[in-house]
Amino acid sequence: MFTLNEIQKYFKYRQGLIDQYVKGDMSKREYLSRNLDAVLALRDKPFNIVDSLEKGLFNYQYFNALAKECKNTDPAKTDYFYSKKDKATLSVLRILDFQGVEAYFIRVRSPQLKGRLFEIIIREYQMILHSASSLILDKLRNENVFREETRQSVIDGYINQKY
């Protein structure tokens, strides 16, 4: 039987990976690989029913990890996984009822993402999500949590580093 404690253990492990990446102890590629391994070790498939914040955030990580894994080899699969990640993002935002959420466009080096990629900060849970979905952008604007400005990402070094 799966427990929420297992998700919490995954997020604690993931934070350790992030800390190692920030210190320079591992490359972005190594971080992505180890995160994917951790996601798949916890569950071989995402949650079908997202009835908690933890499950929504896990699904976000699950699909994000898979999208990044096939980014340079299969654009159609990448798009599919990013669309599933966006569905998980919407689940998280709905569970939170858009409370405690702040979002804004971020500065990126990628010409394809300039003016499209935005950051969603969930401060209480210390979570940073990213999306380029116009549907999510519209919902954030409708809920008055989107700031019409471009900022440096709180994880700028990660976002703008190629892998």
| Portion of the chain with pLDDT greater than 70, in percent | 97
Number of domains making up the chain: 1
Amino acid at 89: T
3-class state of residue 149 by DSSP: strand
How far is Cα 32 from Cα 61, in angstroms, rounded to an integer? 11
Range of the domain at 94: 4-159
What is the model's pLDDT at position 64?
A: 93
| Mean pLDDT to the nearest integer, 109-127 | 93
| Mean pLDDT to the nearest integer, 53-74 | 92
Q: Are 17 and 31 in contact (CB under 8 A)?
A: yes
Q: Residues 6 or more apart from 78 whose CB is under 8 A from it? A: 67, 70, 71
Q: Are 151 and 107 in contact (CB under 8 A)?
A: yes
Q: Which of 93, 96, 103 lies closest to 145, judged by CA? A: 103
Query: Is residue 128 pLDDT above 90, yes or no?
Result: yes
| Mean pLDDT to the nearest integer, 86-95 | 97
